[in-house]
Structure 1
Amino acid sequence: MIVGYHGDAVRSYFGDGTCFGLQIRYATQVVQDGTGRVVDLARDFVGQSPFVLSYGDILVDLVNYKSIVDLADDVEAIVSVKQNEDVSKGGAVFVNQQMEVTDIREKSQPGEMTSAWYNAGVYAFRPSIFEWTAKLQPSTRGEYELTDAIRDLAHSGKKVKAFELSGEWADVRDPEILAQLNRPA
């Protein structure tokens, strides 16, 4: 598990994973320099195996993980998406009719072309993603953006699919959303 901000709280809660029937090892993103660097920290964990990445501030229905884990043989990556979200807060994902990613843009500016599909923060990758994260340059925000590596992977001719999440989804980095989720039903 890759931790950064509030990593001690995450380690304290999950421990070594035995109480969840898991074995958890940790790596720390010391410098918060972007999501592209997080993927590089996973390289030693995953070796040559496909892997799932989920942002810690994203909550999704568990059924989605089961679907995302099963990467088709001809797919290099899966990007989870939601519709009807404010794409200016995150990534706008552009797809063709087969739900193949044709472009992805992080935090589009007003007036830029946009998409109905919002990057929902859960991914599946083959280790080929490391080739693209290694080439990342800082964005205009000064961060190494995972979305840039995904876009480059898709533009290289490799198949990157979008997967529409079902069920509940919440971005809990927004304190108002977190407060809503904690209110009794």
Structure 2
Amino acid sequence: KITYIHQAQPLGLAHAVKISQDFLGDDRFVMFLGDNVIQGGISPLIRQFADSQWNSQIVLTEVSHPEEYGVADLDEDGKIHQLIEKPQNPPSNLALVGIYMFDHHIFEAVNAIHPSRRGELEITDAIQWLVEQKYDVYPYIHRGWWIDTGAPSAMLEANSLVLEELEPRISGYVDRDSEVDSRVTIEKGAEIVNSIIRGPTIIGENTRIVNSYVGPFTSIAHEVSIQNSEIERSIVLEHSTLDSLPARVQDSLIGRHVCLERSPMRPKALKLTLSDYSQVGLL
């Protein structure tokens, strides 16, 4: 069950926290910007924060272009001295990843700060307020990979890295004419018939793959049908169909309820139904 809280206007991340106070109450909570993917996930960080007396924990990582991010300046003891949003002259290369943990004192902060020059209540200003008020804000420096998945290429790269972390298992059906290597996960109810599956790859529940090739770094969601087709380094969401495609699908993001098939009708042509901002590459 998911509860949504509507933010009527884009007035900043701290504003999002502010309007969530009635829902959150005095509970400690995680604020996770959804386009972030980090190695190992955040479960260890949640346990670390839950077992601590910290008022807040923020996640930092070293980046090549800190001027493009919110940046943390730490003192000699490793404590936060200052947080700066997209500085022209960054005092460090430690960027805010977009994963924050707070206790109820954050509500004091979001009610005390003022909108920035762009008219938003900035979460960096709220955290800086906590620091200045001597609340305990712990800077966790993440040493593994981190990807901001705002672009399709970054989404595919994140998918590849996450697949490499999965522990493979076969819970579905694989017939004797298929080849499935040791790095493949096949969920329950899935069927692999006369096909080749090379990992790291995951095949979702009740998905059916027949006379096809699924190459490395591919994530296939549940209730998908792939027949007489080839796909590699791609993501396919649920209830989609790939049928008798004349060329391999590669480096692609395919949404829900998508049907990709070869039509027998003539004249031979490309017949497309595309949503706003779609991108299609044809060879």
The answer to whether the 8 Å contact 1:81/1:117 transfers is yes
The corresponding residue for 1:19 is none
Paired amino acid for 2:126 = A
CA distance in 1, matches of 2:90, 2:67: 11
Q: Please report the TM-score for the alignment, with normalisation by the length of structure 2.
A: 0.52
Whole-Å Cα distance in 2 between the matches of residues 75 and 58 of structure 1? 23
Counterpart in the other structure of 1:90? 69
TM-score with structure 1 length normalisation? 0.76
> Alignment partner for residue 153 of structure 1, among 130, 142, 152?
130
State the partner residue of 2:8. Answer: 30
Unaligned runs of 5+ in 1: 1-15, 17-23
SS of 2:107's partner is: helix
Contact kept in structure 2, 1:61 and 1:168, CA below 8 Å = yes
Is 1:76–2:55 an aligned residue pair? yes
| Structure with the higher strand share, 1 or 2 | 2
Partner of 2:149: 172
**Which of 97, 101, 109 does residue 132 from structure 1 map onto?**
109
More helix, by proportion: 1
Structure 1 runs (4+) deviating above 4 angstroms are 179-183
- Does 2:34 match 1:59? no
**What RMSD over aligned residues (CA atoms) do the two structures have, in Å?**
2.2
Query: Is it true that 1:43 corresponds to 2:10 in the alignment?
Result: no
Matched letter for residue 168 of structure 1: W
Shift of 1:167: 3.0
Q: Is the 8 A contact 2:84 2:124 kept in 1?
A: yes
- Partner residue of 1:107 out of 62, 83, 86: 86
Q: CA deviation at 1:94?
A: 1.3
- 1:151 aligned counterpart, secondary structure: helix
3-state secondary structure, aligned to 1:70: helix
Q: Which has the higher contact order (CA 8 A, sep 6+)?
A: 1
1:94 partner letter: D
Deviation at 1:175, TM superposition (A): 4.8
Aligned length, in residue pairs: 161
Query: Could you tell me how far apart the structure 2 residues matched to 1:79 and 1:26 are?
Result: 23
Give unmatched runs, 5+ long, in structure 2: 160-216, 218-232, 235-283
Specify whether residues 100 and 74 from structure 1 end up closer, same or farther in structure 2 by C-alpha distance, changes over 3 A only: farther
Please tell me whether the aligned partners of residues 85 and 118 of structure 1 are also in contact (alpha carbons under 8 angstroms): no
Higher Rg: 2
